[in-house]
């Protein structure tokens, strides 16, 4: 009886909290209609959030990450990541295809993954972009996606207030697991270090 009452109270409290302090929602940038030219070039990885630690675990080993987005032929974007893990620099490249009938990007080799772009205004950052990766449940009986994470990228190396806003807005949507690279070492690409 007490557990039911407590559950009811917490549900009511959560509903009232949402009414008084509503969560903000990000604004999508449809990949098939957005001006891609303004998003080409260099981006610094700032933070990642998810419902599950497993979705962001790989970012915890990184000291910093710098990405370059280039447009290739036939509605194709290439994302090259320059990743620093300890004293080691690594490069990794991803290829994304843009389809006229789809608002998300298709990652080559992962056709079931949805890759969505969101305006940086959700982080109160005009020079930011938010990238979301979502994969469907592994089994039909599963109730949640097997992957669902948001990643914040900015044109500047440091955007502390913006990262704080991103984390706060994500937590409002129960994405309380987060990681932020410490950025204590030099960025590989900027130092001319091999990847």
Q: For the chain, state the CA radius of gyration.
A: 18
How many CB atoms are located within 10 Å of the residue 90 CB?
A: 14
7 in a structural domain: no
Whether residue 17 is contained in a domain is answered as no
The answer to whether residue 65 is domain-embedded is yes
For the whole model, what pTM was predicted? 0.85
Domain assignment present for residue 1? The answer is no
Q: How many domains does the chain have?
A: 1
What does the pLDDT look like over 55-87, one tens digit per residue? 999 999 999 999 999 999 889 999 999 999 999
109-166 pLDDT tens trace? 999 999 999 999 999 999 999 999 999 988 888 778 899 999 999 999 999 999 999 9
84 belongs to a structural domain: yes
Residue 150 is assigned to a structural domain of this protein: yes
Task: State the residue range of the domain holding 105.
Answer: 27-191
CATH number of the domain within which 131 lies: 2.40.128.20
101: left (phi over 0), alpha (psi -120 to 50) or beta: alpha
């Amino acid at each position: 009886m007490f557990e039911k009452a407590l559950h009811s109270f917490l549900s009511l409290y959560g509903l009232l909290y949402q009414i008084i302090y509503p969560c903000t929602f990000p604004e999508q940038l449809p990949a098939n209609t957005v001006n891609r030219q303004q998003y080409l070039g260099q981006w610094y990885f700032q933070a990642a959030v998810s419902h599950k630690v497993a979705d962001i675990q790989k970012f915890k080993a990184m000291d910093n990450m710098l990405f370059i987005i280039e447009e290739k032929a036939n509605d194709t974007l290439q994302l090259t990541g320059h990743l620093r893990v300890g004293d080691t620099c690594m490069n990794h490249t991803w290829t994304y295809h843009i389809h006229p009938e789809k608002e998300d990007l298709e990652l080559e080799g992962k056709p079931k993954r949805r890759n969505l772009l969101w305006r940086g205004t959700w982080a109160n950052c005009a020079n930011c972009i938010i990238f979301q990766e979502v994969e469907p449940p592994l089994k039909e009986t599963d109730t949640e996606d097997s992957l669902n994470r948001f990643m914040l990228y900015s044109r500047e190396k440091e955007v502390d207030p913006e990262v704080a806003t991103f984390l706060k807005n994500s937590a409002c949507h129960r994405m309380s697991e987060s990681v932020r690279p410490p950025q204590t070492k030099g960025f590989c690409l900027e130092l001319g270090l091999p990847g």
